[in-house]
Amino acid sequence: RREQARLRAGVLEEDTEPWQKEPQFAGLRRVGGVDLSYSKGDESRACASLVVLSFPDLEVLYQDCRMVPVTAPYVAGFLAFREVPVLVEAVQRLQQEAPQLQPQVLLVDGNGLLHPREFGIACHLGVLTDLPCIGVAKNLLHVDGLVRDELHKEQVRSLQRSGETFPLTGTSGKVLGMVLRSHSNSSRPLYVSVGHRVSLGTAVSLVRACCRFRVPEPIRQ
């Protein structure tokens, strides 16, 4: 908890890059996606993936997928301590092997500020790499009074078209993320939250711009 609080102090919840303020994100050329997938029945090994896509064309420029040992135990609310080290290593390999392909922003399969202590995996990875990061989750994390109750389901059903959203406001009054209908062919939404060096509005717009299907292309790839 102390380490999370120390790193949490470094999170920037606003846009810091010129491309973030440009129409259609002019100046954004490379978008990264990261994910960790576990072997069935073996939580000690996982496939760590980092993919970099061109923007706005969403063509694969770089991919690094490798099986890695995962030694830290899973503890709810502290997933980043288990997964971030191997993702940081993947970013560092890219910076050494193909620095010209370094992503200008990372989409992370997980949460950012939408976390019990407002410091999910997207925040953790962002602070350690100092790259803009966005949390993109497929399911709602129940924090700060947020629950997938009938009211929430009704709000989700009200999202009729691609790009429609509603805010995730906790009982604390803070907006922790946004529910986004990312594609007209899928009624299942995404839960987008700030990771680091990006505003929530920019995060939602960029995630939508990266969606050919429900899941944004950098994470889907």
Other beta carbons less than 10 A from residue 29's beta carbon: 17
Instruction: Name the amino acid, one letter, at 42.
Output: D
**Domains held by the chain: number:** 1
Q: Please give the DSSP secondary-structure letter assigned to residue 21.
A: G
Q: What CATH number does residue 9 fall under?
A: 3.30.2170.10
In Å, how far are 15, 31, 53, 55, 88 from 27, measured between CA atoms?
Answer: 14, 12, 14, 9, 25
Report CA-CA distances (Å) from 86 to 16, 36, 67, 72, 134. 26, 9, 10, 11, 18
**The domain containing residue 77 runs over which residues?**
1-219
Average pLDDT, integer, range 139-151: 95
What would the pLDDT profile of 65-121 be if each residue is shown by its tens digit?
999 999 888 898 999 999 999 999 999 999 999 999 999 999 999 999 999 999 999
Q: Supply the mean pLDDT for the chain.
A: 96
Mean pLDDT of 162-166: 97
Burial of 22 (0-12, 13-18, 19+ CB in 10 A): exposed
% of the chain beyond a pLDDT of 70: 100
- Model-level pTM? 0.96
- 22, two tokens: 């440009």
